Structure 1
Amino acid sequence: MLIVTGTMQVPPEGIEAMKAAAAEVAVATRAEKGCRVYAFWQSVEEPTTFRVYEEWDDLDCLKAHGKSAHIATYRAKLAEIGAFGRDIKMHEPGPMTTL
């Protein structure tokens, strides 16, 4: 399993457009092969900051996601919105324990 997580910022006037773009891409992505979790959250302390969190079965599934038409559309929308400060990382977790 792979985990992808990170943040990005949008200008204040882009907040509503970001919410709409994130909701649209999330629905399409969750239907992809190998996608376990794909979600966004808006910071309550910094409303212009959004976090993405993803879980994928493997790297091949993640790579296919990156080539999908809905991701191309989403990236174009991010550019229109003026998203910046994108800091997203991927890692492979070790054993997980329920707390």
Structure 2
Amino acid sequence: MLIVTGTIDVPAENADAVAEAAIAVSQATRAEKGCRVYAFWQSVENPGQFRVYEEWDDLDCLKAHGASDHMGTWRAALKDLGVLGRDVVMFEPGPITKL
């Protein structure tokens, strides 16, 4: 399993448009092979900051996701809405302990 997580920062005045685009890409992505979790959360303190969290079966599934049409649409929307910063990482978790 792979986890992808991080933040995307946009101008606060574009946050509603980014949220709409995030809903569209999330719905399409959750239907993809190998996608276990795909979600965004908007910061309550900084409305222009969104956290993304993803879980994928493997790297091939993640690569296919990156090449999908809806990811192209998502990238174009972010470019048009003015991404200020992006800090997203991928990692493989070790043993998982339920808390």
Does residue 59 of structure 2 align to residue 53 of structure 1? Answer: no
After superposition, the C-alpha distances for 1:9-46 in whole angstroms (9 at most, x for unaligned) are: 11022111000000000000000000000000001111
Tell me which residue corresponds to 1:7.
7
Question: Helix, strand or coil for the counterpart of 1:53?
Answer: strand
Partner Cα separation in structure 1 for residue 2 and residue 49 of structure 2: 23
Does residue 25 of structure 2 align to residue 25 of structure 1? Answer: yes
Structure 2 portions without partners, runs of 5+ = none
Tell me which residue corresponds to 2:76.
76
Partner Cα separation in structure 1 for residue 36 and residue 89 of structure 2: 17
| TM-score (norm. length: structure 1) | 0.98
Structure 1 portions without partners, runs of 5+ = none
Number of residue-to-residue matches in the alignment: 99
After superposition, the C-alpha distances for 1:36-78 in whole angstroms (9 at most, x for unaligned) are: 0000000111111100000000000000000000000000000
1:84: Cα distance to partner?
A: 2.1
After TM superposition, what 4+ stretches of structure 1 lie above 3 angstroms from structure 2?
none
Partner Cα separation in structure 2 for residue 64 and residue 57 of structure 1: 12
Question: Helix, strand or coil for the counterpart of 1:71?
Answer: helix
Partner Cα separation in structure 2 for residue 49 and residue 10 of structure 1: 6
Identity %: 68
